[in-house]
Amino acid sequence: PGGGEPAFVGVQGVGYLIPRGIEVSVPESVVEVLKNAKQDIITQDPDTGELHTEMVYTYPFMVLGEAA
């Protein structure tokens, strides 16, 4: 969601706007919020009509390393 707009993450009353496609440093608590932001994608097989559910991250991200 949000396309190319920054992702907003709130942790204990503090808001973070995280730009997309740019490497940034964030507190571990922000990473935990992102790990827990998930949604189910439901698709239907056009041949059988069977429904399939797949869990995906709402805001895909990568952890590149920890700050020294």
pLDDT per residue as tens, the chain (68 positions): 557 789 899 999 999 999 988 899 999 999 999 999 999 999 999 999 999 999 998 888 888 876 65
Name 18's Cβ contacts closer than 8 Å, sequence gap at least 6. 6, 7, 8, 9, 24, 26, 30, 59
Asked if 42 contacts 30 with a C-beta cutoff of 8 angstroms, the reply is: no
Global confidence as pTM? 0.69
13: left (phi > 0), else alpha (psi -120 to 50), else beta? left
**Locus of tokens 């935990």:** 32
